[in-house]
Every structure is written in structure tokens, then in C-alpha cells.
């Protein structure tokens, strides 16, 4: 009995040591993926020196003489701090989440490919002004510069989450930035889900009752919905099982209410003489947040 107990203890200690070593290795690799804000880099792309100062809250202050360099710095810090988030947003817009998460996100990918936000984003690149395109290209170069640093200096995988999910990262291009903007716009409206709900209700409710439940406020839509009850006479919609919204689903479900507010002031109306824009978007809580606070000194304001 004593012999067996000693061997069991040895096995337990060995397994414990292996677990500690694995945890230590995991911590080391994850730690390597975190950026060193005090490090200096020599990078290809910028026309001059870029200084990125982090305050006590790690908010980046990007100082550059050229606007293109400032946007390069913004892409660089976004990739430093939000590479995993950027990867998820791009994959969502492309309809490629299932390559990472499997069957759980197939429906999301199917919808996103039907909407073709990414295809529209590629087409939108050619419609941008020269200044906007230059900013998008400089931003993309900044993102890719950090990806190159991670690869050349063996800094983990760029983000700790990428050790858990094998999401291949491709170079960032201007269409990716536009796709993220379109994805955020989609997330700000529940009209798609609301129209689907209204269509289902119209099959079982009279129009007057439907308007009571789902009024066309504040005004009727520019393009009215068809009379689904006449298009599909005698059809009764199947019961729909309510399920929790997938955390990666970009299409919000209809809620009881919502909204956002914003205001802008021209430079002639402000004490500093600079234009002012403030918004209060009513967004869901995420970690990390949707926005990243950064300061940029631009020659063109």
C-alpha cells in the first residue's frame, strides 16, 4: 500500500510540475504578444519621425509632421492594442468567422456573404477622394508595419487571444477599414430584423393591429414593404424559438427603444477656433470597447 501511495504521489507531483511549466510557457508567450510602449522602431514607410506618447491610461498621443505619418501611427497603435478585435471585425465583414469558430457562426457568415459588405467595400475604395485614399493607405501601412515587427521579432502572435484561436492574419488593406465602418453601421440599426418580424406578423394580424404594435414612426418608409399577407395567402408562420443573440452577430434584434445624439460646431463658434464634433452613440457594452481614444495632430485639422 505504501509503495502504491509513493508512486501516486510521484505521478501527482510530475503532473503538477508539467502543469506549472505549461502555465509558465503560456504566460510567457502571451506576455510576448503584449506591446512594449517604450520601445523605438525603425520602420519602412513613414516620411519622417513619428512620436507616440502613451499617457497614464495608455492613450496614444501621435505626433508627426505629415498627416500621412500620423495616420501611419494610428494604424500602428491600433494593431498594437486591438489586433484581435480588428481580426474579428474583418472576418465578420468577410463572412469568414466559421473558419475559426466552426458551425456556431455559419448563419452569421451566410448572412454577411449575402449582404456582401466586403465586396461593396472593395468597390468603395475606388470612389474615395485622393486625401481619403492616402489616409487609408497610410493607416494600412501602419497596421502592416506592426505585423512585420511581430513576425521579425518573434513577439508571440500579436495578441494573446490568437494563441487560443488559430485565425490567420493577412495584411491590412484600405477595403478592410471601409468594411469595418460598414459593419459598425449595420450594428447601429435593427431595421433588418424589425422588417422580418413585421413581415411575419403581417401574415397573422390585420394591418390596423400591426400598425398599433409596430408603428411607422416617425414617418412611413420611403419604400414601403409589400403586402406579405397577399403575397402568401393562407400561410401561417412557424413558431420561432427565441435564442440568445450570438456575441459575434452584427445584426441587432429589435428592442424597445434606442437612439444616439450628436452635435457639431464650426470653428467660428468655438473658443479655440477649431471645429468641434461630439457624439453619444448608444452602443452595447463590449470588451474591448468599440472605440479607441487617440490624439492626432494633423496639419489639415
CATH number at residue 96: 1.10.439.10
Q: Which domain holds residue 74?
A: 51-189
Domain total in the chain:
1
8 in a domain, yes or no?
no
pTM higher than 0.85 for the full model? no
300 in a domain, yes or no?
no
Q: Please report the pLDDT score of residue 117 as a whole number.
A: 95
Q: Please report the pLDDT score of residue 49 as a whole number.
A: 92
The Cα–Cα gap between 231 and 127 comes to 39
32, with CB counted inside 10 A (0-12, 13-18, 19+), is middle
Q: Please report the pLDDT score of residue 149 as a whole number.
A: 92
Residue segments in the chain with a per-residue pLDDT below the cut of 70: 1-5, 22-33, 217-244, 254-259, 300-301
The Cα–Cα gap between 100 and 265 comes to 44
113 in a domain, yes or no?
yes
133 in a domain, yes or no?
yes
Q: Please report the pLDDT score of residue 237 as a whole number.
A: 63
17 in a domain, yes or no?
no
10 in a domain, yes or no?
no
197 in a domain, yes or no?
no
283 in a domain, yes or no?
no
The Cα–Cα gap between 21 and 32 comes to 16
Amino acid at each position: 500500500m505504501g509503495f502504491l501511495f509513493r508512486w501516486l504521489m510521484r505521478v501527482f507531483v510530475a503532473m503538477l510540475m508539467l502543469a506549472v511549466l505549461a502555465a509558465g510557457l503560456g504566460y510567457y508567450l502571451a506576455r510576448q504578444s503584449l506591446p512594449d510602449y517604450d520601445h523605438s522602431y525603425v520602420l519602412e514607410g513613414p516620411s519622417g519621425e513619428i512620436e507616440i506618447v502613451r499617457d497614464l491610461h495608455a492613450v496614444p498621443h501621435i505626433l508627426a509632421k505629415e498627416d500621412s505619418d500620423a495616420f501611419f501611427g494610428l494604424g500602428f497603435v491600433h494593431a498594437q492594442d486591438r489586433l484581435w478585435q480588428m481580426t474579428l471585425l474583418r472576418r465578420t465583414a468577410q463572412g469568414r468567422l466559421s473558419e475559426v469558430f466552426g458551425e456556431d457562426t455559419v448563419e452569421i457568415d451566410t448572412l454577411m456573404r449575402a449582404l456582401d459588405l466586403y465586396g461593396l467595400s472593395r468597390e468603395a475604395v475606388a470612389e474615395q477622394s485622393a486625401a481619403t485614399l492616402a489616409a487609408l493607405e497610410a493607416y494600412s501601412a501602419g497596421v502592416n508595419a506592426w505585423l512585420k515587427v511581430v513576425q521579425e521579432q518573434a513577439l508571440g502572435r500579436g495578441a494573446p487571444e490568437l494563441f487560443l484561436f488559430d485565425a490567420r492574419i493577412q495584411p491590412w488593406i484600405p477595403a478592410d477599414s471601409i468594411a469595418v465602418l460598414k459593419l459598425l453601421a449595420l450594428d447601429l440599426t435593427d431595421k433588418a430584423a424589425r422588417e422580418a418580424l413585421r413581415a411575419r406578423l403581417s401574415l397573422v394580424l390585420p394591418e390596423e393591429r400591426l400598425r398599433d404594435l409596430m408603428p411607422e414612426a416617425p414617418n412611413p418608409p420611403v419604400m414601403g414593404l409589400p403586402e406579405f399577407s397577399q403575397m402568401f395567402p393562407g400561410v401561417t408562420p412557424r413558431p420561432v424559438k427565441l435564442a440568445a443573440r450570438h456575441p459575434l452577430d452584427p445584426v441587432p434584434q429589435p428592442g424597445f427603444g434606442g437612439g444616439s445624439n450628436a452635435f457639431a460646431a464650426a470653428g467660428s463658434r468655438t473658443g479655440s477656433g477649431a471645429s468641434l464634433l461630439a457624439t453619444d452613440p448608444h452602443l452595447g457594452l463590449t470588451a474591448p470597447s468599440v472605440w479607441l481614444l487617440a490624439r492626432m495632430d494633423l496639419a489639415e485639422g
